[in-house]
């Protein structure tokens, strides 16, 4: 029988730099765990990804899909290879299958300026950037994945789907997150990003947002059109706290926002549902640098910290939450120290050196 403080983690390293960054992530998780004590982690390594699809015709077996669902959390590296495609040109993407299958509706993408990491904006206030994009991850325009239609080589159609049941849970998640962030000194505000002036689906999205906002009177709620949000993410991103949006808008704006604070190598992410959580850096498998030992492992390491934070919150396990904070502090310390800046952030440290710098601060 599983002890309350032992968590089973399904690990899918995936393709490209996946193995390299996953090794870093697991080393850091183990170091944080032995520092705080109070819980243990059992890792179940599962094959999956575009390479597996190329070799076996399956990107993730049904058995391993089930095993991932039985774990307490799923930790993902990176998936996809440029030359491996289904017949219709789309990519094998087990992470999307898991997101849809396990109803991981809340895609959480923190965007935070770490001292020492390069900022895209010269304005001194860019050092205060600390926002979270919540990207709905099971419907929206991505509901059309695999169902788009091309008629007579003359017309193509994809359809946006917004449902009340997903939106209600998504907005509650966003307000709850804003409330927890406020305890850490953030403003406590959720911005609904939409295009309600044009699309019925987006007007519906905003209407449900307003309904749920009324249930969180202590948290400020406002709206912003998606195009204006793109502008303001460049003009004054330090003014945002939590932003919640449809799947495709979140796909685009979270990459834009990542560029503000160092790029994809810093972009941690989590896909959360009511019963499951999947944690994965937002970047791809970076085949151009795979196997060279130079990938930035920080997005992976910070995603692993998000996993501990989520497990700690879900299971009321204080030690897990403490370990998550210890990892974030160690990353901040490693970057501020200056000696371990990875190459994509303008430094010269390779994967091993960056990982060592984080581990040193956890020791």
Residue 237 lies near ligand ATP (rule: CB under 6 A): no
Task: Tell me the residue length of the chain.
Answer: 363
Residue (188 or 281) nearer to ligand ATP, CB? 281
Under rule CB under 6 A, residue 80 binds ligand ATP: yes
By rule CB under 6 A, what count of residues binds ligand ATP?
14
Does 88 bind ligand ATP (CB under 6 A)? Our answer is no
- 121 is an interface residue for ligand ATP by CB under 6 A: no
The reply on whether position 295 binds ligand ATP by CB under 6 A is yes
Residue 285 touches ligand ATP, criterion: CB under 6 A:
yes
Q: Does 289 bind ligand ATP (CB under 6 A)?
A: yes
b/e sequence 236-270, b meaning 16+ C-beta within 10 Å = ebbebbbbbbbbbbbbebbbbbbebbbbbbbbbbb
Residue 353 interacting with ligand ATP (CB under 6 A): no
Judged by CB under 6 A, the residue of 23, 127, 256, 264 near ligand ATP is 264
Q: Is 36 in the site for ligand ATP (CB under 6 A)?
A: no
Stretch near ligand ATP under the rule CB under 6 A, chosen from 31-39, 150-158, 165-173, 282-290: 282-290
**Which of 239, 255 has the CB closer to ligand ATP?**
255
Q: Which is nearer to ligand ATP, 191 or 303 (CB)?
A: 303
Phi-psi region for residue 89, left (φ > 0), alpha (ψ -120 to 50) or beta?
left
- With a CB cutoff of 8 Å and minimum separation 6, the contacts of 111 are 129, 130, 131, 132, 133, 237, 254, 257, 258, 260, 261, 267
Instruction: Please give the residue whose beta carbon sits closest to ligand ATP in the complex.
Output: 284
Residue of 173, 76, 77 whose CA lies nearest to 132 = 173
Contacts of 155 (CB under 8 A, 6+ apart): none
The residue behind tokens 């960054």 is 21
**Cβ atoms within 10 A of the Cβ of 340, count?**
25
Q: Which residues bind ligand ATP (CB under 6 A)?
A: 17, 80, 264-265, 283-286, 288-289, 295-296, 299, 344
């Amino acid at each position: 029988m599983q002890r309350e403080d032992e968590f089973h983690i399904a690990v899918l390293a995936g393709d490209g730099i996946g193995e390299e960054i996953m090794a870093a992530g697991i080393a850091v998780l183990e170091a944080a765990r032995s520092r705080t004590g109070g819980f243990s982690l059992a890792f179940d390594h599962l094959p999956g990804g575009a390479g597996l699809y190329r070799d076996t015709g399956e990107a993730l077996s049904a058995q391993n899909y089930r095993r991932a669902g039985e774990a307490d959390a799923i930790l993902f590296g990176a998936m996809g290879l440029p030359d491996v495609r289904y017949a219709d040109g789309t990519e094998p993407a087990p992470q999307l299958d898991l997101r849809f299958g396990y109803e991981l509706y809340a895609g959480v993408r923190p965007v935070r300026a770490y001292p020492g990491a390069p900022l895209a904006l010269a304005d001194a206030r860019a050092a205060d950037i600390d926002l979270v994009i919540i990207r709905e991850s099971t419907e929206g325009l991505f509901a059309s994945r695999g169902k788009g239609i091309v008629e007579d080589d003359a017309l193509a159609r994809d359809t946006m789907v917004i449902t009340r049941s997903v939106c209600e849970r998504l907005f509650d998640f966003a307000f709850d997150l804003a409330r927890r962030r406020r305890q850490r000194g953030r403003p406590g505000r959720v911005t609904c990003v939409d295009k309600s002036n044009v699309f019925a689906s987006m007007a519906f999205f905003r209407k449900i947002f307003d309904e749920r906002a009324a249930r969180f009177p202590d948290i400020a709620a406002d709206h912003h059109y998606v195009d204006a949000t793109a502008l303001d993410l460049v003009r004054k991103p330090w003014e945002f706290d939590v932003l919640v949006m449809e799947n495709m808008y979140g796909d685009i704006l979270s990459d834009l926002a990542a560029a503000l604070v160092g790029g994809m190598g810093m972009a941690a992410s989590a896909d959360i549902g009511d019963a499951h959580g999947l944690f994965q850096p937002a970047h791809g498998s970076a085949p151009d640098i795979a196997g060279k030992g130079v990938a930035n492992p920080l997005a992976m390491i910070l995603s692993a910290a998000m996993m501990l934070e989520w497990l700690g919150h879900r299971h009321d396990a204080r030690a897990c939450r403490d370990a998550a904070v210890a990892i974030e502090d160690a990353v901040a310390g490693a970057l501020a120290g200056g000696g371990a800046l990875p190459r994509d952030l303008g430094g010269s440290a390779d994967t091993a050196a960056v990982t060592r710098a984080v581990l040193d601060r956890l020791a």
